[in-house]
Amino acid sequence: MTTPSPTEEGTPPERVRPSRPWLAPAIACLLAAVGLGILLIPGLLRFPGHDRVAEDPAALAALEDGNRALEAEIARLRGSMEGGVCVYDGAFYPQSVEEGAGPPPADAQLDLLPPPPQSARPAPDAVPPAEAEDAAFDGTIDDLLKRSSVLILNIADDGFGFGTGFFVDSRTIATNSHVVGDAQEVYVANDFNPKPLTAKVVARTTLNPDAPSPEQDFAILRIDSDAADAVPLTLAPPRRTQQVYASGYPGFFVEDKVVAYIKAIAAGQDATPPQGVVTNGIVTTVQEAAGVSYMPHTAGLSPGNSGGPLVDLCGRVVGINTFVTQTTDDLVLHGDYALSSDTLANFLNSNGVTPRTASDACTPERVAAPSGSGETPE
């Protein structure tokens, strides 16, 4: 059976209404235009009218006073910078950078850095007096340390050790007892004596490994004949805060070169020992314990420096480098120590060696720059 459709029953069809898709956008645009128009009305919302708030003369004056104070402070700081900059001109004192500014008078000069050992001369009392006019030492502190310091080789059947020593007369060398150990003979060499010279151990202190504080740690070596170009050093008392140089053969820098030198000598080959190392620092203090005078200083040391000279800026020995300390905690602290020249002098005198001594304060002499060079020598 079939059900009739509505049209078939005579009902009229539904009427289709026309579509207007543009109406909603048009209304939105109209509303936006009205909103923008409201915002553009002077004195309303974002655009206030032309009526300005009256200025406060007191506030304006305070602002101007503040600006003037800032400008004055800026000018003061600029002036301070122009007149107080330290400039290194080879003379080691602060000087103005202004054109035409000269050095300060001698009594107002302040040393900022120690002169390099290549540009300072030993004091007259730091070297032996010349027996003849042409025999006088003429060189720098660096030259003096090259001639006076020696590499000490302690060679045994089961290995070798090395350290440093220095001449206290033309045939006598001072060093540490722990450098020579129980040896009766050691070998010494330097730039001017590349072929090792045999040195006999003629005196030494006995060391106590359980000593609670620094102890006397000295040895005296003697060679059979005068070493070529050797210059003995003079002893002078140490002073707190004085600037110093340490000369020696630290293993940290030269151990591999020392090994190569020993192998070459053992093979009968001509060889040159490593050049000594020089570091600089200051004596931080002078201390005494159990009759031994010693001082911590800041001229860097490492094993191999033992027995080497610690000299002032005049080239005079103020101590003999002997030991270092280092913490084992998480924070690593390192200390460098020398036994004082006073304690060394007592040991030398008690063993028949009379070193040259000086007591005057050090007044270093700079090496003049080459004429017309305008440069500081290096």
Task: Report the distance separating Cα 374 and Cα 378, nearest Å.
Answer: 13
Find the mean pLDDT for residues 7-34.
69
Percent of the chain with pLDDT over 90: 47
- Residue predicted with more confidence, 16 or 355: 355
Do 154 and 200 touch, CB atoms closer than 8 A? Answer: no
With cut-offs at 50, 70 and 90, classify the pLDDT of residue 376. very low
Find the mean pLDDT for residues 14-31.
72
Task: Report the distance separating Cα 201 and Cα 183, nearest Å.
Answer: 7
**Phi and psi torsions of 299, nearest 5°:** -80, 115
Provide the edge-to-edge strand list for the sheet that holds 287-289.
Answer: 277-282, 243-248, 309-312, 317-326, 334-340, 292-297, 287-289
Do 204 and 219 touch, CB atoms closer than 8 A? Answer: yes
Task: Report the distance separating Cα 314 and Cα 361, nearest Å.
Answer: 9
With cut-offs at 50, 70 and 90, classify the pLDDT of residue 10. low
User: Hey, where are the domains in the chain?
Assistant: 121-366
Closest CA to 247 of 333, 155, 312: 312
In this prediction, residue 87 carries a pLDDT of 54
Q: What global pTM score does this model have?
A: 0.68
The CA distances from residue 284 to 190, 213, 214, in Å, are 30, 18, 17
Find the mean pLDDT for residues 15-40.
74
Task: Report the distance separating Cα 335 and Cα 214, nearest Å.
Answer: 13
Identity of the residue numbered 282: I
Task: Report the distance separating Cα 303 and Cα 348, nearest Å.
Answer: 24
DSSP string, 293-358: EEEEE-S---TT-TT-EEEETTS-EEEEEEEEEE--SSS--EEEEEEEHHHHHHHHHHTT----B-
Task: Report the distance separating Cα 93 and Cα 129, nearest Å.
Answer: 33
H-helix segments, the chain: 23-39, 57-83, 141-148, 177-180, 251-266, 341-350
The radius of gyration of the chain's CA atoms, rounded to the nearest angstrom, is: 42
- Residue predicted with more confidence, 6 or 118: 118
Q: Is the pLDDT of residue 2 over 60?
A: no
Count the helix, strand and coil residues of the chain and give each as a percent rounded to the nearest 5.
25, 25, 50
In this prediction, residue 14 carries a pLDDT of 59
Q: Is the pLDDT of residue 356 over 50?
A: yes
In this prediction, residue 89 carries a pLDDT of 53
Structural fold of domain 121-366: Thrombin, subunit H (2.40.10)
Do 245 and 208 touch, CB atoms closer than 8 A? Answer: no
- Residue predicted with more confidence, 156 or 130: 156
